[in-house]
Amino acid sequence: MRVASALRSLGMLCALFLTPPAWSESTNARPCDNGAGPPNDPTAAEYDERLIGVCQLENTDNTFAFKPSIRDQGTVTFTLRSCSPDGFSETCEFATPYAVALNGPTTGNGRKFILAGVQDNAEVTLTFSSSGVSEELAPGQLTGLFPGGANGRQVPATINVSLQNLGKLKGNFYSGTFSLGIDQCGNNDVGGALPCDGSKPVTRLATGEEVVFTISLVVDTEIRISGLEDMVLAPDGNGAYVDSQSFCVYTTARTLYRITADSQAGSGAFLLQGAAENLQYETVVSSGGRTESLREAVISSNTWRGHPQVDCNSYSEENMRIDIRVPPARIGAATETSYSDTLTLTVEVE
């Protein structure tokens, strides 16, 4: 915890005899919560862990498929907590602005970030954005301030990856490991507005405790979907008709992908076709804890990571699930006994 010395108000003569205030440092031990106590005692060993948390970034592998026609290659998404409690408060009330610093592989002069390949390197621009504020990251340099979140709110943040030497790459795979540091109030712990005026606790991630993650770029990316079978809907005991199955989506280097579902009978809706009428149904896909109810012919908003093996280890590790459901209200209105549709799933790399 970094606090201003109260004796500074006594003037320059006294300040000459003071030891500078100690810099408090913390870790990312509490990445995804809201920073609430305990501990509530500012002198407690783990008190500063409440102030900073970087969620869903540490030790992630963010792999993007090379886009040859545009510089924007993809975006790393996560959330970040930066707040300060009011003394012994159990709540981390104050939204504390913060600066970030990124370290990682660079060009020979240390001025630009790179993703390293076997034959050559891909020079990239990495841009940090949060709460409507964006700044290009310079290797090892502290940025300006980004807004924190009151009451320990996790605020969405992104790092955009933009390729500089577009069209000049010789290899098939480029990668770099980066470390993100967080410094509450940046270089102005005591001269800023509340809570950066020295009256509230602030901290920074200690050296060696920065959040480490990887960015990779795959130039020749393959994707394959397999293991799908016909589905026969049956009553679920609650008035609906349902069926589900798992299937395999393979991508080179586990690249992220999106999915689209097209109904042969539908146009903007998933429809089972009867002789004279249609029944609308729902299509839900899920993998790795992410679930999305799809819209007909609209690409998913979520991304999922592909399996590294073409057949998902002989289909013993199928990595995607689809659930089909006709709601009770639709079933109750049905006048025919047989309906069918051909549902086409299309996957594409991110």
pLDDT tier at 15, thresholds 50, 70, 90: very low
What integer is the mean pLDDT of 64-88? 92
Instruction: Note the pTM of the prediction, 2 decimals.
Output: 0.65
Percent pLDDT > 90 in the chain is 81
What beta strand segments (E) does 48-206 contain? 52-55, 61-65, 72-84, 94-95, 98-103, 113-116, 121-130, 133-136, 155-163, 173-184, 204-205
Cα–Cα nearest to 322, from 295, 292, 298, 296? 292
- Percent of the chain, pLDDT > 70? 93
Cβ atoms of residues 88 and 42 within 8 Å:
yes
- Buried/exposed 243-258: b ≥16 CB within 10 Å, e otherwise: eeebbbbbbbbbbbbb
The average confidence (pLDDT) of the chain is 90
Least confident of 3-7, 194-198, 292-296: 3-7
Provide Rg for the chain, Cα atoms: 26
Handedness of CA 252, 172, 118, 72 (dihedral sign): negative
Query: pLDDT-based confidence at 170, cuts 50/70/90?
Result: confident
Pick from 73, 77, 63, 117: which is nearest to 306 by CA? 63
Q: How far apart are CA 96 and CA 85, in angstroms?
A: 10
Supply the pLDDT for residue 167.
64
Q: What angle do CA 226, 232, 236 make, to 5 degrees?
A: 120
* Out of 224-233, 245-254, 291-300, least confident range: 245-254
For 112-164, the pLDDT digits (tens) are: 999 999 989 999 999 999 999 999 999 999 999 999 999 999 999 999 999 98
Can you tell me which residue has the tokens 């408090």? 24
For 33, the token pair is 């919560």
Q: Which of 66, 76, 65 is nearest to 100 (CA)?
A: 76
Range of lowest pLDDT (4-13, 178-187, 340-349)? 4-13
For residues 292 and 286, is the Cβ–Cβ distance under 8 A? Answer: yes
Domains recognised in the chain with CATH numbers: 6-218 (2.60.40.2040), 223-349 (2.60.40)
Closest-CA residue to 94 (of 102, 84, 103, 104): 84
Residue 20 has pLDDT above 80, yes or no: no
Residue 11 has pLDDT above 50, yes or no: no
Rounded to an integer, what distance in angstroms lies between the CA atom of residue 322 and that of residue 244?
6
Look-up of token digits 């919560």: 33
